Amino acid sequence: MLCGTLVTMLVVPLSASALGALSQSFTTTEDSLSAGSIVTLNSSKANQVAKATSDHASSLIGIAADKPLVALGAGNQQVQVVVSGLTPALVSNINGDIKVGDKITASPIKGVGMKAVESSEVVGIAQSSLASSTTTTEHIKDKTGKSTDVKVGVISVQVNVSYYAAPSDKLSGVVPTFLVNVGSSIAGKDISPLRVLIGFTALLVGFLITGVLLQTAVKSGIISIGRNPLAHDSLRKSLLDVLVTSVGVLLVTVIAFYLVLTS
């Protein structure tokens, strides 16, 4: 694990402005809060931000902006923070090389992000890879005092602060990726493969129960008419009861499926 401070000042020029992004104005006590820095809210003072580290990832708010498309509450001696949209961000390879689609969270380096590999709050999703950007190498020390080389560069990030639930190693190979993606889309957030597995299993069981009920009712109705052709009225009532029960089962199943994914 790396320490939260750099030995030397890191300077990485941003190659693009925060075009198409929405930002808000915040105050800061940081001496230099450059565009692209991942920031977190100050827990002791309202409307104040500081460079984020992994120790304070739970209060991530966005990425410091250069020239956002829309700025809310702009004022003197304040910093604009992108809270939604596409913007450049400072990132590192502490947790491995960042590729398109990776979730970005705060790293031990102040203001610099990294790929999220464990469940944590994330600031957004990478829209470009670190390998395709110009990087610099920083020599920093971990908690044991061992020197470590870290590559730092600028990538495009789609800002969407949310909680990322890292998939379980065992279940990630069992649950198809497209089911996880569908479940996440329905829930409006990233969810674990276990939750997806439980939800879709419950949904499948509900449909199977409904199918068995309908099949049994139709089969019984055919047999009843064969034995007694005058039993039409009682057959209709029986089929209607089964149909209502089936709809009820489906409704309960769908509600349970949604609650499993969103709770």
User: pLDDT tens digits for 4-20?
Assistant: 444 334 444 444 455 56
pLDDT of residue 263: 74
Which structure tokens are listed for 175? 């649950």
- In the chain, CATH 1.20.20 sits at 193-262
- In the chain, CATH 2.40.300.10 sits at 22-164
Residues 6+ apart with CB under 8 A from 234: 224
Whether the predicted pLDDT of 92 surpasses 90: yes
* Greatest Cα pair distance in the chain: 92
pLDDT of residue 69: 52
Residue type, 152: V
Q: Give the confidence band of 89 by pLDDT, cuts at 50, 70, 90.
A: very high
pLDDT of residue 178: 77
pTM of the shown model: 0.58
Which whole number is the average pLDDT over 115-124? Answer: 90
pLDDT digits (tens, 9 = 90+) for 140-178: 776 666 778 889 999 999 999 988 877 654 556 667 777
Mind giving me the DSSP string for 38-80? EEEE-TTSTTEEEE--GGGGGGEEEEE-SS-SEEES--TT-EE
Residue type, 115: K
Q: Give the confidence band of 231 by pLDDT, cuts at 50, 70, 90.
A: low
May I ask the CATH architecture of the domain 22-164? Beta Barrel (2.40)
CATH topology (fold) of 193-262: F1FO ATP Synthase (1.20.20)
Report the distance separating Cα 170 and Cα 146, nearest Å: 33
Q: For the beta carbon of residue 245, count every other beta carbon within 10 angstroms.
A: 15
By percentage, how much of the chain surpasses pLDDT 90? Answer: 24
What ranges in the chain are assigned the alpha helix state H? 169-172, 177-187, 193-227, 232-262
Cα distances from 24 to residues 27, 77, 82, 108, 182, in angstroms, run 10, 13, 7, 25, 31
